[in-house]
Amino acid sequence: MDLGLKGKVVFVAAASKGLGHAVARGFAEEGATVVICSRSEANVTAAAKEIARATGAEVLPVVADVATADGCRRFVRAGLDRFKRMDVMVVNAGGPPPGRFEDLDESKWDTAYEVTLKSAVRLTDLAIPELRKTKGNLLYSTSTTVRMPTAYVTLILSNALRAAVHGMLKTLSKDLAKDGIRVNALQPGRIQTERIEVLDTDSAKRTGRPIEEVRKDWHAMIPLGRYGDPKEYAAAAVFLASERASFITGVSLQVDGGMLPANW
């Protein structure tokens, strides 16, 4: 199936590793030109070379920290200077560290706020004028914790702030529809990345159990019985931003192997 992404310019924030990297590669495999960023020059350059070599796509690496206003501007400006357009903005950032409420001082909340919420606000603000020109797409990477926060009591930073991102994007989906901009989100569950490795290790330390037992518990909660592959998450992202999803907006799609029990 032709997804209609050939020749499109896709910006994927925080894409040197993890889900961002998988999403960037997924768009590149469909023939899109991709702009990626990371705080680490070595990591983002290596990621761009790897994606370009594997797919034949043009990939622009940008050194930028999306937790800062300057980093967001640098990321977007570098891509626009090079390619003169934006068809998709994938709003993504590294997840806040785990911890219970009483473990977290105000500075940790401030840092998480900049990384999780303010990065989404800033990237959205920079993207909207460009996406109006192309009738493009805003796609947010959030979390299943938006719907099931009590399953993750050590992820209160993520639970609180990603819920705010979700409220923003849901509102935008109606507000921007008149401009031809579709706004959607993906909610990853337990996808096998370095982030999940960190969370599983943290759970093992807190409970004094082997990490294998922690993972076995999660596998038992997931109807498909396993963690997801980043490629599976990327496939959903690519579809939602493609022409084949042209009548889908305001959706927050869970990619979790059936883990969430809610009806909606």
Q: What is the pLDDT of residues 111-146, one digit of tens each?
A: 999 999 999 999 999 999 999 999 999 999 999 988
Does the pLDDT at position 73 exceed 80? yes
Mean pLDDT of 54-64: 98
φ and ψ of 258, to 5 deg: 90, 15
Instruction: List, in sequence order, every residue forming a beta bridge with 60; answer none if it has no partner.
Output: 35
pLDDT of residue 228: 97
pLDDT of residue 151: 74
The Cβ of residue 166 has, within 10 Å, a number of other Cβ atoms equal to: 20
pLDDT of residue 126: 98
Tens digit of each residue's pLDDT (9 = 90 or more) over 146-168:
888 877 788 999 999 999 999 99
Domains and their CATH numbers in the chain: 9-189+228-254 (3.40.50.720)
pLDDT of residue 113: 97
pLDDT of residue 150: 76
Q: What's the mean pLDDT when you consider all of the chain?
A: 95
Mean pLDDT of 179-206: 93
Closest CA to 131 of 61, 192, 80, 206: 80
Q: Tell me the pLDDT band of 19, cut-offs 50, 70 and 90.
A: very high
